[in-house]
Amino acid sequence: MSGVITAYSVLDGQAQQNYPISSPADIAAAMNAARQAALVWAQIDAKQRSQRVARLIAVMMAELDDIIAVLMAATGKVKTEALLGEVYPVLELLRYYQRHAAASLAPCPVHTAPLAFPQAQAVYERRPYGVVAVISPWNFPLQLTLAPLVTALVSGNACVFKMSELSLPVGALLMRLLGQLDLPDGLVQQVIGAAPEGMALVDARPDLVFFTGSVAAGRAVMARAAQHPIPVLLELGGKDAMLVFADADLERAANAALYGAFSNSGQVCVAVERCYVEAACYADFVARLVAATAQLNVGHGPVGDLGAVTSLAQVAIIEAHYNDAIAKGAQASGPLRLQGRYLHPVVLWDVNHTMLLMQAETFGPLLPIMAFSDGQEAVRLANASDYGLNASVWSRDINKAERIARQLQVGNWAVNDVIKNIGHAGLPFGGVKNSGFGRYHGSEGLRQFTYTVAGLTSHSRLPKEPNWFPYSDKGYLDMRGFVDMLFGAGSLKQRLFRNWSALQAFRGYASLNLAQHWRNGWIFIRCYPR
């Protein structure tokens, strides 16, 4: 072994357990075991796989209180946040896969042009990659590990996962829960460690890497995977914009802004980190937010809205963003107050795009608000970011709101709602620009954990095809006439007339008196001998 990592409770700072760091030999053994199990698992059809994995719903519900307790200690979340942000989305995803995975992964027949491919059938199918490496972060350690993990399993892969070194009790919990399922031995493996072990996992050459984390770490993983090469799916950071128009339901929008910015103490990749408000309601909206923020409860009492900060290293970034904004003229609802592990939320206004908190991911409970004059400016401001994960638009005019949303450079958007759209199990989730690429959730997510294999089956009994050897000048002219008949200018009658002589060479290929399907309708071609 190459050492241990001690896990501490975020709630009271007490040491919980020591976890041995995985050595290169451990990682190689995990990869080998997963690869052997993947061969068995891939032979089971998608419906049976989804049914076996969906058994996790009952397992999780039976141990729900224990799961919540582990999550609270590992992350500092309040219990409602742990339930709704971590457990519920996974349960929804499992049920979606149980109902739709078989159809999503079924072979797809493809229309075949009968004149070019007579008596042929075309199809494409999805095959699992083999072993998927999942590298997950500390902010939602259960959801952001289990969601890609079960997606990998349902789509027919084995999985080797590495959680953040801050979340190891959650990893142990997941292995215990998954151990209650009817899965081949070795199908799910865990690697324990920090960044070096994550890179070693990539070097162990899984067949696909799914990474969730920061842009810098994502670039490093992608560069490492490119050395082998291994395909990657990257779910990276966000700087999500909320656009509030004057005709919005301002009470609902204000409540949404609080939740969107401060849930999980802002430690959410799709948190509202930029709020743009139409000038006509800007002062009113700021006043609403300042008043409502003062009513939020911080801590783990009987009433608690914001939990603890999971990583104290993040506090330095949050503090730098706050101080930079104040130095450049921003107004704030209060000072930045850290009490133990609890960071009190702050609303800032009179902000601009020169400030760090409008450019870089804050990942903490700061809500900056900036005015815009019209929809065109709102779109320009929202798109002026290196990130493109999620966004929301607020207006009673749904047509206007959807039109604005479709102009935003993001992978996901919502109208008159915030964050919750990414929990829709049927909607693919992922980003653009520096927020990454690739998708998971829904049918699209399942397919991204597989690769496409295309097949063509010919039922022809001809001794050879017209495009086979030997070549000749006459054969070229006949083939040219065939191509002109299919794609040349003029009506079908004109194309047939001018190419009739050349088409006689294909009368056996097309079959005498064979009804052929033409892409623009049904036609009946009789290839008469001269």
* Positions marked catalytic: 235, 269
Q: Hey, what are 393's tokens?
A: 């638009």
DSSP state of 419: S
Closest Cα to residue 138, out of 211, 213, 85? 213
Residue positions counted in the chain: 530
Question: How many C-beta atoms surround the C-beta of residue 527 within 10 A?
Answer: 17
Instruction: Give the helix/strand (H/E) hosting 356.
Output: none
457-489 in b/e form (b: 16+ CB < 10 A) is: eeeeeeeeeeeeeeeeeeeeebbebbebbeeee
| DSSP per-residue letters across 321-338 | HHHHHHHTT-EESS---E
What's the count of helices (H) and strands (E) in the chain, helices before strands? Answer: 19, 24
Instruction: Give the helix/strand (H/E) hosting 290.
Output: helix 279-293
Q: Hey, what are 358's tokens?
A: 């409008």
Residue appearing with tokens 């902000």:
351
Asked if residues 199 and 70 have their Cβ atoms less than 8 Å apart, the reply is: no
How are beta strands 436-437 and 232-235 bridged, if at all?
antiparallel
Q: What residues does 124 pair with on adjacent strands? A: 108, 454
What does the alpha-carbon distance between residue 436 and residue 348 come to, in Å, rounded to a whole number?
28
Closest Cα to residue 190, out of 210, 206, 174? 174
Q: At 215, give phi and psi (nearest 5°).
A: -65, -45
Indicate the burial class of 267 (C-beta count within 10 angstroms; 0-12, 13-18, 19 or more): buried
Q: What residues does 132 pair with on adjacent strands? A: 159, 208
Instruction: Give the helix/strand (H/E) hosting 275.
Output: strand 272-278
Contacts 24+ apart (CB under 8 A), 199-205: 199/224, 200/22, 200/24, 200/27, 201/27, 201/31, 201/133, 201/135, 201/160, 201/162, 202/133, 202/228, 202/230, 203/228, 204/27, 204/28, 204/30, 204/31, 204/133, 204/160, 205/31, 205/230
| DSSP per-residue letters across 359-412 | TS---SSEEEEEEESSHHHHHHHHHSSSEESEEEEE-S-HHHHHHHHTTS-SSE
How are beta strands 436-437 and 450-458 bridged, if at all?
unpaired
